[in-house]
Structure 1
Amino acid sequence: MSLFAELRMRPAAEPAMSGRFVAKGWDASRTMRLALSGGTLFVLLVGANLATPLYPGLSQRLGLGSLGISIAFASYVVSLVAVLLVAGHWSDHIGRRAALTLAVVLGIAGVTVFAMAGSLLALCVGRALHGAAVALATGASSAALRELLPNRVGWASRFTLLSSSGGVALGPLVGGALAVGPVPTEVPFLACGVVLALLLAPLVLIKARPAIRPAFDTSRSRLLAPRGFGVGQRSARGAFWRASAVGFLSFAVFGYFLSLAPGYLAATLGITSLPAIGALAGLVLAASAAVQLAGRGSAQRSPRTAGRIVRIGLALLGAGTLGAGWAASSGHAVLLVVAIVAAGVGQGMAFRELFDGLATAVAPERHAQAVSGLYVVTYLGSAVPVIGVGALAGAVGLPTASAVFTAGCAVAAGILAVFGAPRRASRAAGPAPESVRTRLSSPCGRRRDPS
């Protein structure tokens, strides 16, 4: 099926003018499909965080204060959340390849507008376009990875987390490293646009699999209409809200380190190197990504062990965030690095455990919707608290606002450690993962929704 046939939501068996193209399409290997599915989301998230070490320079060049930087950062998150709510399930109906292609096109537009921005409005427009791109890619990439690894749900979750956490972690490093020459705020984004453009060729040429829930007797407008928020599966609601709560908190911490913290840390520690600022801001995400890739999946652990890992992770997240706030205000660079790493390790432990639990509990035909819903709540943590900190900083100063924020996150992590960890009863539906794998082991690797 051609890309345009997918966008028109034509069923795979329907003859189309592009039928000859199907026979000549690129029948890529599973390894290449895994790389393309995860790599698209990875590159988009790298591009979304290139600006982290550049915010101090952009603030000076455009005359933006803490609130202006918060608004520019949050415009990406607001757009991402809105598109997740409206179109997070589209890849189920138009196909994973079509959704990823649309995401790449929007991503190219976003980085181009941001690179050429000369005002706060232009920054917000560029960030909003990129947020829409990440939103379309999030559910499509996660669902594609799971379909490509039907009998290895844990590995599919691990690749998803690598693409998301790894991309966010690498973005500040790449942004700082590419911020060279007379136009340091343009080169990183133009380079990202080139990489995204290179992804278009394989996405267009690959012989895509049919959509898991294509349009047959149901109208296209009804299928693409916004869905109700949530996981849509009663047995998975507990896993969904636990992962969402921890995701909201952890992304509030990430949002702070990716927006306001670079300028604050550069001032308190006397750092002037953009790569160093990017490395420090991205350290918490790098630690999180490393932990999420290490060790066994949660399916191999008992419910008691899983709950213990979540509690330890949340305790580390709270202690590390509180320690980072104190170290930044007192200028202790070594302690700051240790605290940031501890917060990242704790987030990686807790979120990976809860994400794996959600991926195991949810049915395959609900996977894209569940992951999109999870990231709606998660990414709101990057917007609402950060805007609040920016507004507070305008009234009492950034040092005081940062101290209040880090203390509040530590308290929230403690509360979630007590009440938010999975209990024994939450894993009661043990046979579900096996039934999911059985359904996915069909020749097509997916199940059609009877509706």
Structure 2
Amino acid sequence: MILTGRVLSGLSAGIFTGTATVAVIELAPPHWREKATFFATAANMGGLGLGPMLAGALSQYLPWPLHLTFLVHIAMAVLAVCCIWAAPETVSKPARPRLSIQRLNVPAEVRGVFIPAAIAGFAGFAMCGFFTSIAPAMMGKVLGYDNRLLIGVVAGSIFIASTLGQFLQGTLPLRLRLPLGCVSLILGVIPIALGIYTQSLALFVVGAVIAGMGQGISFRAGMGAIAAASPVREKAAVTSAFFVVAYIAISVPVIGLGLMASVTSLKTTGITFAAVMGSLAALALVLLIRRERAGGN
């Protein structure tokens, strides 16, 4: 039943995330367009960060720990339905609307931006997936902490840092946003790996914050660059394609982590994963530098 619920919640996120992001941007007045991009992406990452923190607090300090979190979640979902029902439509609806599978598409003119942004997004979201799945076990079995609120705070810290990175991204020069996000991701995985190796919670959290800020910067910068480069009629399809990459990254590598942890130690698994994600961020940075130089020539 738990696996069924996970599959259904994942399907729901896949259905509405890309469309909701575009809708928020389209509903904003022109002078709020940049802020709307931030609120749309920050809602995703902020929710992912606050979720484990809230669940940790409820399960650690309040009664009915296995049920209360889900009741709170249901209440928030009902509130979301009410808000969506009241929101104005951003497109003209056909007389007889039909549900269909949206075709993902990355037009040729967008691929030069999409590929490095997608690689950086994959590395950043994979680190987020690591913190929501393996980090709790890492906290208990490697670092030696069992307080569920603390575990939730550590697991959610990368997402909160991501939201902060998205906010700060607007203060950076436009052409440097995505490269700086990649650099921050690379710098973040180093203390994460060292924290696991030395069993230091402080290093582990510092790495999560640095990597989270890098993920937030690269995610929002990549989303903005992709949206700006996409034809109007293809925005939802391209945005959904970007989110598909992101959600594959936050889920599929976790399976590999579980397999690796079953044949080797949890410590080795965490260090290896951090190194691989740092390498992916470095690859995205190299592609961005090459693209910048090619554009300059």
Scaled by the length of structure 1, the TM-score of the pair is 0.60
Aligned-pair CA distance for 1:163: 0.9
Q: CA 1:207–1:296 in 2, change beyond 3 Å: closer, same or farther?
A: closer
Higher helix share: 2
Number of residues paired by the alignment? Answer: 294
2:146 is aligned to 272
Residue 376 of structure 1 corresponds to 244
Are 2:8 and 1:140 equivalent residues in the alignment?
no
Question: Judging changes above 3 Å, is the alpha-carbon distance between structure 1 residues 418 and 316 closer, same or farther for their aligned structure 2 residues?
Answer: same
Q: What are the residue-to-residue correspondences of 1:155-194 with 2, within 5 Å?
A: 155-179=35-59, 180-194=61-75
Q: Which runs of 5+ in 2 are unaligned?
A: none
**Deviation for aligned residue 1:377:** 1.0
CA contact (8 A) 1:314 1:346 kept: yes
Shift of 1:237: 2.5
Instruction: Give the 3 Å change call, closer, same or farther, for CA 144–186 of structure 1 in structure 2.
Output: same
1:124-150 residue CA offsets vs partner (Å, 9 max, x unmatched): 101111112212221221121121125
Seen in structure 2, the aligned counterparts of structure 1 residues 198 and 352 have a Cα distance that, compared at 3 Å, is closer
The answer to whether residue 282 in structure 2 is matched with residue 414 in structure 1 is yes
Q: 1:264 to 1:317 in 2, by over 3 A?
A: same
C-alpha distance in 2 between matches for 1:378 and 1:215: 31
Instruction: Give the distance between the partners of 1:132 and 1:250, measured in 2 at CA.
Output: 21
Conserved in 2, the CA contact under 8 Å of 1:248 and 1:377?
yes
Q: Distance in 2 between matches of 1:363 and 1:297?
A: 26
What secondary structure is seen at the aligned counterpart in 2 of 1:209?
A: coil
What are the residue-to-residue correspondences of 1:273-312 with 2, within 5 Å?
273-296=147-170, 301=173, 306=175, 308-312=176-180
Residue 297 of structure 1 and its aligned partner are, at CA, apart by: 6.8
Equivalent of residue 153 in structure 1, options 17, 33, 54: 33
Q: Distance in 1 between matches of 2:128 and 2:277?
A: 11
Shift of 1:241: 2.3
Alignment of structure 1 residues 87-236 onto 2, 5 Å: 122-149=1-28, 151=30, 152-179=32-59, 180-204=61-85, 206=86, 208-209=88-89, 211-212=91-92, 214-215=93-94, 224-231=99-106, 233-236=107-110
Q: Distance in 2 between matches of 1:159 and 1:321?
A: 26
Q: Quick one: distance in 2 between partners of 1:201 and 1:410?
A: 41
- Farther-moved stretch of structure 1 (289-298 vs 275-284): 289-298
Specify the SS of the correspondent of 2:64: coil
Specify whether residues 403 and 194 from structure 1 end up closer, same or farther in structure 2 by C-alpha distance, changes over 3 A only: same
Higher relative contact order (CA 8 A, sep 6+): 2
Change (3 A) 1:327 1:359: same
Aligned residue for 2:139, secondary structure, equals helix
**TM-score after normalising by structure 2:** 0.89
Query: How far did residue 391 of structure 1 move?
Result: 0.4
Q: 1:234-292 CA distances to partner (integer Å, 9 max, x unpaired)?
A: 32222222222211111111101100111112232221211110001111111111110
Structure 2 distance, partners of 1:371, 1:330, is 40
Counterpart among 237, 242, 247 of residue 116 in structure 2: 242
Mapped partners of 2:124, 2:280: distance in 1 = 10
Alpha carbons of structure 1 residues 326 and 149: separation in structure 2 relative to 1, 3 Å: same
Amino acid at match of 1:145: V
In 2, the alpha carbon distance for the partners of 1:295 and 1:246 equals 15
**1:265 and 1:328 in contact (8 A); partners too:** no
> Displacement, 1:186?
1.8
Structure 1 gaps of 5+ residues are: 1-121, 428-451
**Residues 395-417 of structure 1 deviation map (CA, whole Å, 9 limit, x = unaligned):** 11212211211111122222221
SS class of match (2:142) = helix
Which amino acid in 1 is paired with 2:292? R
Task: Tell me, in whole angstroms, the C-alpha distance in 2 between the residues paired with 1:153 and 1:364.
Answer: 15
- Post-superposition offset of 1:227: 4.2
Give me the CA root mean square deviation.
2.5
Name which of 246, 259, 268 aligns with 1:400. 268
1:202 is displaced (CA, Å) by: 4.1
CA shift, 1:312, in A, is 2.9
SS of equivalent to 1:185: coil
Q: Map of 1:46-65 to 2, 5 A cutoff?
A: none
Q: After superposition, give the CA deviation of every residue in 1:334-357 in whole Å (9 maximum; x if it has no partner).
A: 222222211112222222222111
Provide the C-alpha distance between the structure 2 equivalents of 1:139 and 1:312, rounded to a whole number of angstroms: 25
Kindly state the Cα deviation for residue 316 of structure 1 after the two structures are TM-superposed.
2.1
1:201 to 1:309, Cα distance in 2 relative to 1, 3 A: closer
Q: Counterpart in 1 of 2:135?
A: 261
The answer to whether the 8 Å contact 2:123/2:278 transfers is: no
Look up the SS of the partner of 1:269 in the other structure: coil
Structure 1 143/190 Cα, relative in aligned 2: closer, same or farther at 3 Å?
same
1:354 aligned to 196, 205, 222, which one? Answer: 222
CA change 1:131–1:201 in 2 (3 A) is same
For 2:199 and 2:118, locate their aligned partners in 1 and report how far apart those are by CA, in whole Å.
Answer: 33
Q: 1:404 to 1:191 in 2, by over 3 A?
A: same
